[in-house]
Homo-oligomer: A and B are copies of this chain.
Amino acid sequence: MTNLNVPGLGSFADVAAYMDGVGDAARSASRALARASTHAKNLALSRMAAAIRRDAGLLAAANAEDVAAARATGNDAAFVDRLALTSTSIEAMARGLEEIAVLPDPVGEISDLKYRPSGIQVGMMRVPLGVIAIIYESRPNVTADAAGLCLKAGNATILRGGSEAMRSNQAIARCVHEGLRDVGLPETAVQVVATADRAAVGHLIADEKHVDVIVPRGGKSLIERIARDARVPVIKHLDGVCHVYIDAQAELQSAIRIADNAKTQRYAPCNTMETLLVHADIAPRVLPPLASIYAAKGVEMRGCERSRALVPAMKAATESDWYAEYLAPIIAIRIVDSLDLAIDHIARYGSQHTDAIVTDSHPNAMRFLREVDSSSVMVNASTRFADGFEYGLGAEIGISTNKLHARGPVGLEGLTSRKWIVLGTGQIRN
């Protein structure tokens, strides 16, 4: 990645000094944001949305330049598709900001305030994380979505999008800044990094002084690279090798409907099922009708030997299929002899993202819920529900596969922390 010659953007002689300045400004803005009123934050979000609607033509024009440049440098259609803004996607950005405005403000929420024997009251207050850096690829709508969510949670944001979308991102940033300015919040609350030099990313992810958390949005290789090199905590989203386990005591039609939906409703999302586990007792009744559905939808089935005995059209699964995140119309299928073996399979091959059991057995449902160590564990529902909107978070910045801090879909609450508060009346410790 080299510097682009974008008018008004720079090629920076000293990226480290530039990024230090960005970091200082973000840290300083984060203090203003942390004490900003809910009203000011919501009004800023509405003004940003209005500016985006008003400037839809300007945004489209800036985006057209990015798209033309991407085509000229030979990027493929899928790449250009992710980069392109349409009038629909511009309107969706504006509406997304308005939807964030109506979400409850998590900042300042006090909980669990209790008297202690010493006479002090101890509780917790929800507070912003401080400065969040978002590192993302192509899709320019992330600029508005991520800035909006971080702002509502009281955080300053440093946005580092792909160089291919820099004109689009800067145009969106102008609308975001107008909204901030209108309500008297510092424009530096949301900064879009204005250099394509990749040293900027290296600086950000190591900048423990200025950055509290990194949220990478993009392909797995981007996220792995950032997680490997970061000194700052990363809210990361890696594999989604999701399972549906059909228990011996499953209701047949429900099992087929869920296994169909979890695989075929959409193939690309991380919460789509990749491996189906079926109890041996129910497999002869489940697999043949399910295989007909998959076959009709063009889903390639790769099964264990026992599955293939029931559905001869299946290909043979190899060890690597159990680890695979296909993100495609392919499914791995395995027959297991017990709930324990299903849980063992998920522990060994899964990615701790989203796993579901279909069963009418209460003890089996409870054991699955407790013993499967994934960010979302489901009973009698499609894995496709693992999503911030479906969970009622309003919007999500991503799905975390971390165990610490936020696990699963990350909404406003995942962009905050809690501190202890103590209310006394002059108490001292003896």
A: residues with CB less than 8 A from B are: 31, 34-35, 108, 114, 116, 118, 120, 122, 125, 127, 129-130, 212-213, 233, 251, 254, 257-258, 260-262, 265, 347, 356, 367, 369-371, 373-382, 384-386, 390-392, 402-405, 407-409, 417-430
Chain B minimum-CB-distance residue to A213: B404
Contact between B374 and A426, CB atoms less than 8 A apart: no
A200 to chain B minimum Cβ distance, whole angstroms, is 22
Chain B minimum-CB-distance residue to A27: B347
> Given B380, B403, B417, B427, which contacts A403 in the complex, CB threshold below 8 Å?
B417
Contact between B257 and A390, CB atoms less than 8 A apart: no
Contacts of A386 in B (CB 8 A): 420, 422
Q: How many copies of this protein are present in the complex?
A: 2
> Given B127, B378, B419, B428, which contacts A422 in the complex, CB threshold below 8 Å?
B378
A354 to chain B minimum Cβ distance, whole angstroms, is 8
Between A and B, 26 residue pairs with Cβ closer than 8 Å are: A31-B347, A34-B370, A34-B373, A120-B381, A120-B385, A122-B390, A122-B392, A130-B403, A213-B403, A233-B404, A254-B426, A262-B428, A265-B429, A265-B430, A374-B419, A375-B419, A377-B419, A378-B423, A381-B424, A381-B428, A385-B424, A385-B429, A386-B420, A386-B422, A403-B417, A408-B419
Assess A390 versus B116: contact at CB under 8 Å? Given A35-B371, A374-B419, A405-B404: yes
CA distance A418 to B408 in the complex (A): 9
CA distance A29 to B347 in the complex (A): 13
Assess A420 versus B34: contact at CB under 8 Å? Given A116-B392, A382-B427: no
